[in-house]
Amino acid sequence: MAAWLGVNLFLFVTFFLTFDRDEKYYYTRDLLGSALAWARASAKCLNFNSMLILLPVCRNLLSFLRGTCSCCRRTMRKQLDHNLTFHKLVAYMIVLHTVIHIIAHLFNFERYNNAQKATDQSLASVLSELHLSDDLWLNPIHSNTTTPLYVAFTTIPGLTGVIITLALILMVTSSVEFIRRTYFEVFWYTHHLFVIYFAGLVIHGIAGVVRGQTPDNMKEHNPKNCASYYMAWDQEDSHPDCKQPEFGSIPAERRPVFYLSLKSWKWVLAPLILYAFERVLRFWRSCQKVVVTKVVKHPSKVLELQMHMKGFSMEVGQYVFLNCPSVSHWEWHPFTLTSAPEENFFSVHIRAAGDWTECLIDTFEQQKPKTPRIKVDGPFGTASEDVFQYEVAMLVGAGIGVTPFASVLKSIWYKFQHADQNLKTKKIYFYWICRDTGSFGWFKDLLASLEQEMEGSGKAGFLSYHLFLTGWSNSMVGHAALNVDKALDVVTGLRQKTSFGRPMWSNEFSAVAAAHPRSVVGVFLCGPGALASSLQTCCHQHSSLDPRKVQFYFNKENF
């Protein structure tokens, strides 16, 4: 964040001072005033942030970096978990500089227009009349009848500027939380306007409308010395060292920051190539044949798909994108893998949570005339990959958000079966918060198996799990109270009793800190933002100031 903000500040200040003080823009400033510097400085920041905006969504690149950083410090790997947050911040910065750029150019156009219409023989009016018959002009408005609409829709900078701005407005507005959660298809399709945005950005500045004095002419015409002779520029004997000024497109800066003065297409060329390679790789991978080996319908309208694909290799907690052509040819949705790397298949659990998921579940329930085709893109890395890098782990799932931890717990089950001696983790605390009892149905069998396996291997204390039911009635609580002395819970049939209500997180963190006073605890969440804020606050509050004592590190799933 500091580096990114620092580069933005450096670019803005550097180019603002360049266009505000450099002699080659002396006459341009006379026409435009300080709006010239504001427009050009914001343009450079726009180029820089447009270069960055695609990198956080190159999922294969991030997965590769996560793998290469596996032996690095966990704080370095954790930065990759903030890719979507950084993507949003870069987008906000683009919006900010777009607003500055547009407002500055509105002032520039007004100043250009006024200078062209001026008849007072001022320096601005003389500059506007120079070299209209050739390509050495300074004022791009050559007619007194030019209107803002004419400039906006007939010139390359104007037309591309309008297109870029409209594409940006649509992408940003469709990305708000409400639209993204409720109308995902609108977000998905609208976000692909980035193709138009980059196409417009690449050609936006090729016309060279904003100009400066040419380098060769600067040797024959010093603006500070010659500006006062502007009424006699066309008289050869008026001043031997003050020939008429000549203007051209803004040249590259010949100074230590010359590489920052690249045209827009040079800024975004490398990220565009990288992103194109990313898309080709994902397309190729999505074309691989996927065999659906098993379809299981669970309570609370949850569908489990077990699949096999040649060459598929995964780690715990990773996710894939699924596409079902019979539902939609273009829509891809992310789902966490619930299988373990040790299994010979990979699986996902899909809960009905929108039009696409409901159609998918209905399609598989009907299975007419045959099992629908599924396309898979992935797997991609997430924070849950680092579970086994911590001595102690707290896993928190909300509803269907338990899916990444299903993969983790299954992998633990296999590790216990094969007596894996390389398991660094010594204790896992698992919290599952559900709204209704049906949600417990498809996962309780795994927990029951884990209970038996850990008891048989003498590690009954390895897993401590806590189930919380937030949607309950008084009769349900009364029934649980009457059966509190029974060995098995009346809600889930497990040995661990179900709690009614939400966890008291401060108490839970205090208990973990007391039980592991000198451990590094990884807190992993797959759930809503409000819960993430609570857990992150607790991580800060309960981490010791002494680095040798208990430390909590927060990790959240991001798709």
Task: Report whether 493 contacts 467 (CB < 8 A).
Answer: no
Total structural domains in the chain?
3
Measured CA to CA, the distance from residue 387 to residue 117 in angstroms comes to 70
Query: DSSP secondary-structure letter at 460?
Result: T
N- to C-terminal Cα separation, the chain: 21
- Single out the residue in 247, 278, 309 at which a domain terminates: 278
In a domain, 86, yes or no: yes
Residue 30's nearest CA partner among 104, 115, 88 is: 115
Query: DSSP secondary-structure letter at 438?
Result: G
- Token pair 């400066």 is at which residue? 212
In a domain, 248, yes or no: yes
Task: Report whether 376 contacts 288 (CB < 8 A).
Answer: yes
Residue 91's nearest CA partner among 2, 202, 197, 184 is: 197
In a domain, 259, yes or no: yes
pLDDT of residue 8: 95
Tell me, yes or no, whether 241 and 314 share the same domain: no
Measured CA to CA, the distance from residue 474 to residue 490 in angstroms comes to 15
Measured CA to CA, the distance from residue 302 to residue 129 in angstroms comes to 73
Task: Report whether 434 contacts 470 (CB < 8 A).
Answer: yes
| 368-373 long-range contacts, CB within 8 A, separation 24+ | 371/292, 371/295, 372/324, 372/325, 372/326, 372/327, 373/290, 373/324, 373/325, 373/326
Tell me, yes or no, whether 228 and 92 share the same domain: yes
Tell me, yes or no, whether 352 and 463 share the same domain: no
Task: Report whether 307 contacts 374 (CB < 8 A).
Answer: yes
Backbone angles phi, psi at 308, to 5 degrees: -140, 135
Tell me, yes or no, whether 375 and 387 share the same domain: no
Backbone angles phi, psi at 469, to 5 degrees: -110, 115
Task: Report whether 62 contacts 83 (CB < 8 A).
Answer: yes
Provide the angle, in degrees to the nearest 10, between the axes of the packed helices 156-173 and 194-204.
150
pLDDT of residue 329: 84
In a domain, 188, yes or no: no
pLDDT of residue 256: 40
- Single out the residue in 243, 278, 313 at which a domain terminates: 278
Tell me, yes or no, whether 536 and 469 share the same domain: yes
Measured CA to CA, the distance from residue 181 to residue 174 in angstroms comes to 10
In a domain, 392, yes or no: yes
Tell me, yes or no, whether 269 and 392 share the same domain: no
Tell me, yes or no, whether 541 and 404 share the same domain: yes
pLDDT one digit per residue (tens) for the chain, 559 residues: 899 999 999 999 999 999 999 888 888 888 889 999 999 999 999 999 999 999 998 888 888 887 666 555 666 777 787 888 899 999 999 999 999 999 999 898 888 888 888 877 888 888 888 877 777 888 888 877 777 677 777 888 888 999 999 999 999 999 988 888 788 788 888 999 999 999 998 888 777 788 888 888 888 888 888 888 777 676 655 566 777 888 887 654 444 443 344 577 788 888 899 999 988 988 888 888 999 898 888 777 888 899 999 888 888 888 899 999 888 888 888 888 888 888 888 999 888 877 888 898 888 887 766 788 899 988 888 878 888 888 899 999 887 777 788 888 888 877 777 766 677 888 889 888 887 666 666 677 667 777 676 666 666 677 788 888 876 666 666 656 655 566 566 566 666 777 777 889 999 999 999 988 888 898 988 888 888 899 999 999 999 888 888 899 888 877 6
Q: Which domain holds residue 358?
A: 288-380
In a domain, 428, yes or no: yes
Residue 50's nearest CA partner among 4, 94, 101 is: 94
pLDDT of residue 493: 61
CATH code of the domain containing 323 = 2.40.30.10
Measured CA to CA, the distance from residue 156 to residue 162 in angstroms comes to 10
Q: Which residues contact 167 (CB under 8 A, 6 or more apart)?
A: 193, 194, 196, 197, 200
Measured CA to CA, the distance from residue 459 to residue 101 in angstroms comes to 63
CB atoms within 10 A of CB 18: 20
Angle CA 396–400–406, to nearest 5: 65
Q: Which residues contact 162 (CB under 8 A, 6 or more apart)?
A: 152, 153
Q: State the maximum Cα–Cα separation within the chain, in Å, rounded to a whole number.
A: 111
Measured CA to CA, the distance from residue 546 to residue 536 in angstroms comes to 19
- Single out the residue in 258, 278, 298 at which a domain terminates: 278
